[in-house]
């Protein structure tokens, strides 16, 4: 119970930021489009560069982003097929994009800090890169295909700076280029901005949600993808690793379990706003999954991730 309450206290400030975002959108008329562009093109690339630059380059460490990337892509493609059975418009693209997303950064990282020792938190940060790679590659492509041709979607994809930031971070790391204390202070400032802007986007999206935009079928499928399909797939991978592959240790298994229970990523609002892909539906799905996670994540973490 003590751990549950400690995690709840760690997560609760995130909901205050969401509320402030709602106030900013509703009463100060702040537009989420501008915040979304800043998050996608400026803040996130700096954070991802820092994660790639600071990580220990071992085989298991390097494989973590690729594992989380493959999981995200698999769920995206699975629910793209499912979406075709229920939706004839671009809602199927939105469902597929959301199904591969997880709020492992803005939401999951504070929980990881509360649960794990610093070395394990660093590994968790490396795993986050896989989610960012997904949303800026296949995820973005599927989402963009909702309103654009394949050529247009690919053209938008290669303009996103996060992929180049990740490659540059790995190169700086491998070449042992030292950036010094000024860079560390600079990078830490962007980590704070990353969290605040991401959670405020949920509130800004909520401020623009109309009641008529509540799509029960879409919301149900999105929540099934996040809170049922994600944990089941991760548990299946961990079962195979524990009994046959034995590639990862118990600490990395804990990281992956925490990764699997995060709510739908706040970045969904940024990308769907940028692409004009049903951002109201996306905002509602993100909000409801985040509200559910307020109790769900501390409960599961306190029971299985001690």
Q: Is 154 exposed, middle or buried (0-12, 13-18, 19+ CB in 10 A)?
A: middle
State mean pLDDT over 19-47. Answer: 88
Q: Is the pLDDT of residue 221 over 90?
A: yes
pLDDT surpasses 80 at 297: yes
The residue that leads in pLDDT, 20 or 155, is 20
More confident: 23 or 188: 23
pLDDT at residue 163, as a whole number: 80
Q: What's the mean pLDDT in 89-99?
A: 95
Gap between the Cα atoms of 255 and 188, Å rounded: 22
Place of tokens 């085989």: 59
Q: Where residue 58 falls among pLDDT bands split at 50, 70, 90?
A: confident
Mean pLDDT of the chain: 87
Coil vs helix vs strand at 269: helix
pLDDT digits (tens, 9 = 90+) for 223-258: 999 999 999 999 999 999 999 999 998 989 999 999
- Cβ atoms of 111 and 257 within 8 Å: the answer is no
pTM: 0.86
Coil, strand, or helix at residue 149?
Answer: coil
Asked whether residue 23 carries a pLDDT value surpassing 60, the answer given is yes
Q: How far apart are CA 301 and CA 130, in angstroms?
A: 21
| Helices first, then strands: H and E counts in the chain | 16, 0
Q: What is the mean pLDDT of residues 106-128?
A: 84
For 53, the 3-state DSSP assignment is: helix
CA distances to 6, 83, 89 from 99, rounded to whole Å, are: 29, 10, 17
The pLDDT score that the predictor gives to residue 175 is 92
- Spatial separation of the C-alpha atoms in residues 173 and 184, rounded to whole Å: 14
Percent of the chain with pLDDT over 70: 95
Residues 174-185 have a mean pLDDT of 89
Residue 210 has pLDDT above 60, yes or no: no
CB 25 within 8 A of CB 203: yes
C-alpha span between 254 and 238 (Å, rounded): 10
Residue 71 or residue 190, greater confidence: 71
> Which pLDDT value is given to residue 213?
62
């Amino acid at each position: 119970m003590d751990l549950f309450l400690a995690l709840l206290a760690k997560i609760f400030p995130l909901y205050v930021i969401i509320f402030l975002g709602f106030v900013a959108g509703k009463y100060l008329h702040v537009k989420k489009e501008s915040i979304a562009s800043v998050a996608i093109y400026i803040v996130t690339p700096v954070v991802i560069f820092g994660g790639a630059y600071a990580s220990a380059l071992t085989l298991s460490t390097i494989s973590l982003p690729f594992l989380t990337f493959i999981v995200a892509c698999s769920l995206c493609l699975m629910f793209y097929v499912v979406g075709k059975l229920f939706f004839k418009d671009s809602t199927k693209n939105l469902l597929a994009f959301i199904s591969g997303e997880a709020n492992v950064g803005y939401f999951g990282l504070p929980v990881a800090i509360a649960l794990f020792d610093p070395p394990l938190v660093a590994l968790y940060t490396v795993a986050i890169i896989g989610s960012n790679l997904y949303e800026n590659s296949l995820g973005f492509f599927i989402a963009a295909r909702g309103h654009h041709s394949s050529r247009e979607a690919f053209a938008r994809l290669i303009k996103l700076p996060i992929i180049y930031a990740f490659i540059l971070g790995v190169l700086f790391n491998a070449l042992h280029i030292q950036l010094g204390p000024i860079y560390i202070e600079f990078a830490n400032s962007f980590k704070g901005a990353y969290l605040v802007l991401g959670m405020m986007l949920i509130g800004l999206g909520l401020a623009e949600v109309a009641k008529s935009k509540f799509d029960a079928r879409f919301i149900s499928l999105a929540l099934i993808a996040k809170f049922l399909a994600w944990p089941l797939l991760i548990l299946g991978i961990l079962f195979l690793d524990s009994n046959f592959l034995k590639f990862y240790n118990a600490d990395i298994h804990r990281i992956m379990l925490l990764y699997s229970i995060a709510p739908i990523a706040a970045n969904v609002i940024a990308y769907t706003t940028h692409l004009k892909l049903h951002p109201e539906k996306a905002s509602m799905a993100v909000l409801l999954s985040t509200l559910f996670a307020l109790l769900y994540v501390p409960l599961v973490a306190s029971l299985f991730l001690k």
